[in-house]
A and B are shown apart, each in its own frame.
Chain A
């Protein structure tokens, strides 16, 4: 990976989806010192068409993403797309079919009225679930409750994640909901949406785009590109559609994806060999859930790591040094900016005020999505 870019994440942006793609893609190319002519193929990552409100939205975004007269394909694995599109970009290069690949992720959620959450009414099974008029937050509430109950986790411990990430986001120039003064108290006092989920447990809907540039080692060698990080492991996994048939306390599918990625990266002991993580955190408890799914904490142990400060930016295992989705914003697929972009920036020492104070050589991030069933994992090394 030799370049990354992202737009501001905001509740509403004026740019069209194409224009957001362009801004992020152009920034990523500029940072890699390349032009569009150097790009062999383009991968687009974007989540539901129903956010932007365009059928076949990959086709719509194509020119902004740099796909004009190039091999161009969109991949879509729900909320897992933020990390998954990079995996698709990886196989374009690793297969030998392309030397330079541009990966561009986008989401424009403000188009959808009355609320971006209206889209989520349609992600459920039409016969089994939709008649109950479900709201998106129910998913998280049900999963969070199960996680809390099985392990006896307290809401105070979960709120610590929101506090950490919203504070970390203060140092992120694109952040939508950074808050240097937020406390656990604030989270616990915020409005209850769907218990146990309260307003400050949730990341905001956002507009935004992000992009990364991948290149073969040959290109990197020939062009003597110094700012680069290597994708050393990829894994992805989907669980059964029948979400009411399994125990939600542990994301088995994330663990499977992680094992696949660790095997490829030859990582035997992830907790010792991985220096920092960008677990997917659309809700605060998800960071804990995913630290466990990524096998960086034992089941039920992530809250303890959080409480002990291990996951702080200066801790032993920094988690979401970017500020995550909780702090920077959640334009679903475009969260590639925090999840993949942050790995790149940290590993190349370009994270500025967010730079982890000690040396980091190996990072992992994961995406998560669909109906509590998708895990995508990328391991990167300096």
Chain B
């Protein structure tokens, strides 16, 4: 319908290939710079605190998304966190099947608003919510100031 004539020979239908790709450099920003320098230089994980809302944001933000206060007060995140949610990814980032599923977790920390989404460094059958975990941080000489300086979260030995 719609047009007065239509092609019925499928071989005559064409397509045209292209991309809208470019290379990007994203700056970490004001709050991110503070976080990633502390991570790279000292292996610390910082949250940004809003004293009005009494929330410590992880990832840190330069502003409180609730009250719009500018956040300049940074606090250390506890060394040990807790797995709040888990998923086993059976495919890689492009959707190709993995030989062995990869555990991913959302990790929260006591007294901290938010948390971190990251790889969970345990065998798939050991990945479960409630696990006490801590970040495994790459050695200083290979840290570049990105979230990938953290390799993932591993079980925290008591």
Chain A interface (Cβ within 8 Å of chain B)?
14-16, 18-19, 22, 25-26, 29, 35-37, 50, 53, 63-64, 66, 68, 110-114, 118-119, 122, 126-127, 130
Q: Establish whether residues B68 and A114, one from each chain, have CB atoms under 8 Å apart when the complex forms.
A: no
Does B70 sit at the interface, judged by CB under 8 A? yes
Q: Establish whether residues A19 and B62, one from each chain, have CB atoms under 8 Å apart when the complex forms.
A: yes
Partner of A14, one of B27, B66, B67: B27
Does B18 sit at the interface, judged by CB under 8 A? yes
- Chain B residue nearest to A114 (CB atoms) is B23
CB contacts under 8 Å to A, within B95-122, are none
Q: Establish whether residues B63 and A16, one from each chain, have CB atoms under 8 Å apart when the complex forms.
A: no
User: Hey, what's the 0/1 contact readout for B43-85 against A, CB within 8 Å counting as 1?
Assistant: 0000000000000000001110111101000000000000000
Kindly state the separation between the CA atoms of A26 and B20 in the bound complex, as whole angstroms: 33
- Chain A residue nearest to B26 (CB atoms) is A111
Kindly state the separation between the CA atoms of A13 and B69 in the bound complex, as whole angstroms: 21
Q: Establish whether residues A35 and B68, one from each chain, have CB atoms under 8 Å apart when the complex forms.
A: yes
Partner of A113, one of B25, B30, B31: B25
Closest 9 CB pairs of A and B: A16-B29, A53-B24, A113-B23, A63-B65, A36-B68, A122-B20, A68-B65, A22-B63, A118-B22
Q: Beyond the given A18-B29, A35-B68, please list 5 additional residue pairs across the A-B interface where CB-CB is below 8 A.
A: A16-B28, A22-B63, A26-B70, A63-B61, A111-B26
- Given the interface pairs A64-B63, A126-B16, A130-B18, the reply to whether A22 lies near B68 with Cβ below 8 Å is yes
Partner of B63, one of A26, A53, A118, A127: A26
Q: Work out how many contacts link A and B, with CB atoms closer than 8 A.
A: 69
Q: Establish whether residues A126 and B25, one from each chain, have CB atoms under 8 Å apart when the complex forms.
A: no
Q: Establish whether residues B26 and A15, one from each chain, have CB atoms under 8 Å apart when the complex forms.
A: no
Residues of A within 8 A of B18 (CB): 122, 126, 130
- Chain B residue nearest to A115 (CB atoms) is B22
Does B32 sit at the interface, judged by CB under 8 A? yes
Does B41 sit at the interface, judged by CB under 8 A? no
Residues of B within 8 A of A15 (CB): 27, 29-30, 62
19 contacts across the A-B interface (CB closer than 8 A):
A14-B30, A15-B27, A15-B62, A16-B27, A16-B28, A16-B29, A16-B30, A18-B29, A22-B68, A26-B70, A35-B68, A63-B63, A63-B65, A68-B65, A68-B66, A112-B22, A113-B24, A113-B25, A122-B18
Kindly state the separation between the CA atoms of A56 and B30 in the bound complex, as whole angstroms: 22
Kindly state the separation between the CA atoms of A86 and B66 in the bound complex, as whole angstroms: 24
Q: Establish whether residues B33 and A26, one from each chain, have CB atoms under 8 Å apart when the complex forms.
A: no
CB distance from A381 to the nearest CB of B (A): 30
CB distance from B58 to the nearest CB of A (A): 14
Residues of A within 8 A of B61 (CB): 18, 63
- Given the interface pairs A16-B29, A16-B32, the reply to whether A111 lies near B65 with Cβ below 8 Å is no
Kindly state the separation between the CA atoms of A14 and B30 in the bound complex, as whole angstroms: 7
Q: Establish whether residues A127 and B16, one from each chain, have CB atoms under 8 Å apart when the complex forms.
A: yes
- Chain B residue nearest to A207 (CB atoms) is B27
- Chain A residue nearest to B63 (CB atoms) is A22
Kindly state the separation between the CA atoms of A29 and B62 in the bound complex, as whole angstroms: 17
